[in-house]
Structure formats: structure tokens, C-alpha cells
Structure 1
């Protein structure tokens, strides 16, 4: 049986923190599906199509990485795509507490789907999309926060 994991998030935009988790997960799973969650109550900075295109561009030479969008419960998305694992990145103790609560609810809904936590690498451990969006919004240099493909498309001349 294939080890498929879903790495859910908004990826608005995808950062070097996200790619750190994805890259390290490639050795653990046969397929890493980056699931862009669409939340009707949130207004993203970048359209979902752009976020999906970035992921596909970054991983164009890595067939183990797929990108999709979904609405609703993450656990339902896992069931739909046949993922038995959910992957989450942890930057801090606060992240862990929040993610642990979500993992416990997901496990109650479907005990066959397991959540795996990966600690962020120290060099990207403080990156959050919220901070990155603020840098971009204020015309700051986000080149050390974003994959090159993303930075090239968002930087202002």
C-alpha cells in the first residue's frame, strides 16, 4: 500500500518553511499531496490558482509531490485521495498545542488516518505566511523567505 500524506494549509504564499517540511517528508512518504485549503471566511492575498501554480512549478521535477485544492474537512480530503497520513509542520510549542488538538479530533473522526508532526528546521523555524505577506505588502525584500519562483512573481520592480 502506498504511503500517501496530505500536507494541508493555505500556502498564501508557500514559504521556505513549507518547502522545508515538504522536502524532508519526501523520504518518509511515497507521495506528498500539498492540499490548499479554501476557507470561505478568509480572504487570501493570492488566488488559489496562483498558489497551486507555484507549488507545481517548485516541484515540477519531483513526481512525488502533487498539489490540489479542497474545501471542508481535511479528514474528508484524506479519505477522498486515499491519504492515510496528515503532515503538519511545527515551529513552536504553541503550534504543537494547536495542531495536537486538531489531530485528536481528526483521529476521532477517522482512526485510520494518522497525523505526523515535523519540527521546522532552525533556519526557517520562525517563518509564517502572515509575516511574509506583511513583508510583501510593504515592498520589503522577501527573497530569503520564499522559494525563488514565488519571489520572482511577487517582487515589485
Structure 2
């Protein structure tokens, strides 16, 4: 069984993330969306809120393969070892993403030489979307309905700082 882990902060999940997930599901027999618990970042949504938003988003689409939602803290390669998984799925929007992702993939490869990172280019219609830009637009009352699922729009509106 070919399994991939799609790691990220997903704060919040966007249509760009879901595009990568949908396309990754065509390649792998199973995909695990793994929310990174990063104590160095101050996410808008808790890990549980992000996992719930992802779960709701993936329930609205048929992927043809199992898609699970999980979370982890620490090194991604340790999470992969614990799950006996050897593939990381990552999305790229632009050249700037590639430079960053290449560094991370190289470090992961150094730490675990049996791990491969697969990059998928985000669909052009989603290439400008980032979780950060979604939060910034929502914070100032902008319309994000074309960038994230409707339940994420609602969750953004419910956050006091983002009304």
C-alpha cells in the first residue's frame, strides 16, 4: 500500500491545500493529512479546530482512497517512522516555495534516507492562496469565500479578532 503524509499547519485549510490532497489521492492508496503542532508559531486555530476543519472539508469530496487526519509534534521524520511511512506529499505554489521546500526535503532526506518527498504544483487557480493571506483578508472583513470552504469562512468569522 502506497501511503503519503501531507504535513502542514493548515491554519486554516484552503482550496489550494484541498487541490493538492485531491491530486495526491490519485497517486497514493492512502493520504494522511498531518497537522503540525509547532510551539514556535501562534496559530489562529487550535490543533483540534484545524483537524475538525480538515475533517469537515474532506468529508465533502470523494477521494477514492482513504484520507485520514492526524497531528504530530516534533520531527516529521520521527512521525513517519512511527507510522512506517516513507513518502511526504507537499504542494508548491511558486519558485519561492520550491527553495524553502527543497531545503526541508533535503534535511528530511539527511535524517531519514528512506523518505522521499513528492512535490505537486498547485493548480494555477489556487496558486496565490496561502493560509496567511486568507487570515489577513478575513481579519479586515474581506471576502474569502472563493479561497476556503464555507465552514472555514464561518470559523474565521467566529474568531473575535477576525470579525
Gaps of 5+ in 2: none
Matches within 5 A, 1:31-110: 31-60=30-59, 62=63, 64-110=66-112
Shift of 1:152: 3.3
Query: Residue in 2 aligned with 1:26?
Result: 25
CA–CA distance in 2 between the matches of 1:128 and 1:57?
Answer: 19
1:4–1:82 CA contact under 8 A, matched in 2 = no
Q: Deviations over 1:37-59 (max 9, x none)?
A: 01111111111111100111122
CA–CA distance in 1 between the matches of 2:81 and 2:71?
Answer: 14
Shift of 1:14: 0.2
Secondary structure of the structure 2 residue equivalent to 1:136: helix
Q: State how many pairs are aligned.
A: 156
CA–CA distance in 2 between the matches of 1:145 and 1:100?
Answer: 26
Gaps of 5+ in 1: none
After superposing on structure 2, the runs of 4+ consecutive aligned residues of structure 1 that deviate more than 3 Å are none
Query: Residue in 1 aligned with 2:147?
Result: 145
Shift of 1:155: 3.3
Shift of 1:140: 1.4
1:78–1:84 CA contact under 8 A, matched in 2 = yes
User: What's the RMSD between the two structures over aligned residues?
Assistant: 1.5
Q: Give the TM-score normalised by structure 2.
A: 0.90
